[in-house]
A and B are shown apart, each in its own frame.
Chain A
Amino acid sequence: MKAFIKAIEYHLPETILDNQQLAVEFPDWSAEKIMAKTGIAQRHIARNDECASDLGVLAARKLLASGVAAAKDLDFLILCTQSPDYFLPTTACLMQDRLGLPRSCGALDVNLGCSGFVYILGMAKGLIETGQARNVLLITAETYSKHINVRDKSVRTVFGDGAAATLVSAFASRKSPIGPFVYGTDGSGAANLMVPTGGMRKPRVAGAPLEQDQSNNQRTENDLFMNGPEIFNFTLRVIPPMVEQMLQKSGLRLEQIDLWVFHQANQFMLEHIRKKLGVSESRFVLSFADCGNTVSSTIPIALKNAAEKGQMKTGCKVAIAGFGVGYSWAGTVMEWKGPDRMTR
C-alpha cells in the first residue's frame, strides 16, 4: 500500500486583523505600506478563549463533513502545533476524544513550526507504507498571536492563526506518489525565532519589562522574538541545496516540477527564492494575502487553494518545502492524485 493526500480542509478564526486596524495602532505605517512591505491584507486571530486545538477540531470536522472519510475510518492522528492546550496531556489525545475517533487510533503531538507539515506528511507516509495505518489525519494548528506582543509590529503584521486538516490515505499501488523526502536541522539558529520563557528551561517572567529594538518593535522576554535578517540568511543557505537534493533524489529536473508550494513565510523571501531557483511565477504558489503566515498550515492551505483554482491536475508534480523555526526544514515532491478540483 502507498500513501496519498486524499483531502484538505482548513479553518481560520473569525476575528480579522486587517492593515487598516494595524495602521491605527502603528501610525508610522499606512495600510498601503503594510501591504507593500508584507503582501498581506489581513490575518485571522483566535479569540482569547480559542486554542489551536479548537481551530484544528473545526478544520477536521469540516473534512469529515465533506464525506471523504468517517471518524471511525481514521486510525492515526498527528497534531503539529507549538501552541498546545497543556504541557500534558498530549493535545492530540484531547482531540481524539472531541472528534470521536476510535480508541484504537494512535495520536501524538509534534512540536514543529514552519517545517511541520512536511515532517508529519513524511510520518504519515511511513505509517501507511509500513502497514501501521490506513487513514492518517494530519492537523496543523497554530495561534502564534498568543505568543506575540501587540506592540511588536515586525511579527504582528506577518503571522496569522489558523488550522488545516489533511487526510493521508492508503491505496494499492507499486509506486508511491509522495516522496522522496529531504530533512534538515540546525539548532544553532534556535534563538532567532523563539519564545524564550514559559517552558522548562526558563519559566514565564511575571512583570517582565518591555524592551524596544532598533526598529521600535517592543516585546518582553515572554513574547515571540524573530530575527528577520538571520532567518532570511538561513533560508537562502538551506533552500537551494535542499531543492537540489529533492530533484536529485526524485530524478527530476527543475522544469519537470509543475507547481512549487513553499512555506508562505513572507513576500520578499518567497519572491527572492523563486528568482534564485529560476522558477517561473506561474508555477510558484503565493497564498498568504488573506491569512498571513499561519506557520505549519501555510502549505496545506496553499495546496487547497491551488486545487480549488484548478492549478493542480491529477498527475502533476508538486514540490513542497517547509523551513523556519528550529532551525528546521523539509521538502518533498508529490504526484498529485486528485481530485483535479477541490471545492470548499
Chain B
Amino acid sequence: MTKKEFLIALGEVVGGDAGGIRGDESLRDLDGWDSMASVAFMAMADERLGKLVGAADLAACKTVSDLMALFPGQIS
C-alpha cells in the first residue's frame, strides 16, 4: 500500500475529507479520531494490510506517522 493510499484509507476511517490528511498530524488533533475510529482503523488494517493491530500498540500511537509505523515495510 502506498502512503497516499494509507492516508486516503485513514481519511475514510475518520469520516473526513479523503484527501485531507497530510501524514504529520497528531492523533489528538485529527478530526474524527476516537475510540470508534480506532476499531474502524483496525478493521481496515486487517482487511487491507493483513495485520491485526494490537490494541496496546494502537493506544501507544500519538501521530499519523506512528500509525504508519505499525506496518513496517508495508507502506511505501
Contact (Cβ within 8 A) B39 A214: no
Contact (Cβ within 8 A) B55 A236: no
B residues lining the A interface (CB < 8 Å): 15, 28, 32-40, 42-43, 46-47, 52-55, 58-59
Contact (Cβ within 8 A) B40 A214: no
Please indicate the chain B residues that have their CB under 8 angstroms from the CB of A154 in the complex.
Answer: 34-36
Task: Decide yes or no: A38 and B36 within 8 Å by CB, A227-B55, A229-B58, A269-B43 being known contacts.
Answer: yes
Please indicate the chain A residues that have their CB under 8 angstroms from the CB of B37 in the complex.
Answer: 37
Chain A contact residues: helix, strand, loop or mixed: helix
- Residues of A205-247 at the interface with B, using a CB-CB cut-off of 8 Å, are 213-217, 227-230, 232-233, 236
Nearest Cβ on chain B to A187's Cβ, whole angstroms: 17
CA distance A232 to B58 in the complex (A): 12
Interface residues on A, range: 20 to 34
Task: Decide yes or no: A215 and B46 within 8 Å by CB, A229-B55, A233-B55, A268-B39 being known contacts.
Answer: no
Contact (Cβ within 8 A) A229 B47: no
Whether A275 is near chain B, meaning CB under 8 Å from some CB there, is yes
Task: Decide yes or no: A272 and B47 within 8 Å by CB, A37-B40, A229-B42 being known contacts.
Answer: yes
Contact (Cβ within 8 A) A214 B15: no
Contact (Cβ within 8 A) B59 A228: no
Contact (Cβ within 8 A) A214 B43: no
Please indicate the chain A residues that have their CB under 8 angstroms from the CB of B33 in the complex.
Answer: 215
Contact (Cβ within 8 A) A37 B36: yes
Please indicate the chain A residues that have their CB under 8 angstroms from the CB of B54 in the complex.
Answer: 233
Whether A36 is near chain B, meaning CB under 8 Å from some CB there, is yes
CA distance A147 to B46 in the complex (A): 32
